[in-house]
Amino acid sequence: MKCLFEYPEEQPKELAIIVEKYDNRYAMGDMDYHDTKQYQDEVEAVGYTFEWGLDNVPFNLIKKTMRNYTYNILTNEIVIFEQEKEDENTFNCVGEIVIQLRKEGYTQVINLNKII
């Protein structure tokens, strides 16, 4: 997914209003970690999210997704899929990863958070 901070023309109006409000505050140097968390909460309330680090600079503004996984015992596969929320009751699948587990006489531990 592309970062909507880099493509502001593709931001929906309700998101663009929030981003513009906080962009002005960043430009004035008026943002601390608490403010960035509030910014993130407002963005998530309209169905989007972003990341930010110790430098307190937001990045990777994307549509909020839901990650799920299934395990197929017959094929010994884990399928991880990501869904975008289209509306209150509808999710669209936007991608998936299939992991084939091998039986080699020991238990294989996979950290799913590191894969996605």
Same domain? For 76 and 53 the reply is: no
- Two structure tokens written together for 23: 């962009």
Same domain? For 24 and 40 the reply is: yes
Would 2 be classed as within a structural domain?
no
Identify the domain boundary among 24, 43, 63.
Answer: 63
Strand partners, 77: 72, 100
Per-residue pLDDT for the chain (116 aa), expressed as one digit of tens each? 789 999 999 999 999 999 999 999 999 999 999 999 999 999 988 988 898 888 999 999 988 876 655 666 566 666 665 666 555 555 555 555 555 555 554 444 455 554 44
Same domain? For 70 and 110 the reply is: yes
108: containing domain: 65-115
Strand partners, 100: 77
**Domains held by the chain: number:** 2
pTM attached to this predicted model: 0.60
Phi first, then psi, for residue 50 (nearest 5°) are -150, 170
Same domain? For 52 and 75 the reply is: no
From its phi and psi, is residue 56 left (phi > 0), alpha (psi between -120 and 50) or beta?
Answer: left
Same domain? For 78 and 111 the reply is: yes
Same domain? For 33 and 53 the reply is: yes
Same domain? For 13 and 57 the reply is: yes
Same domain? For 51 and 96 the reply is: no
Same domain? For 74 and 37 the reply is: no
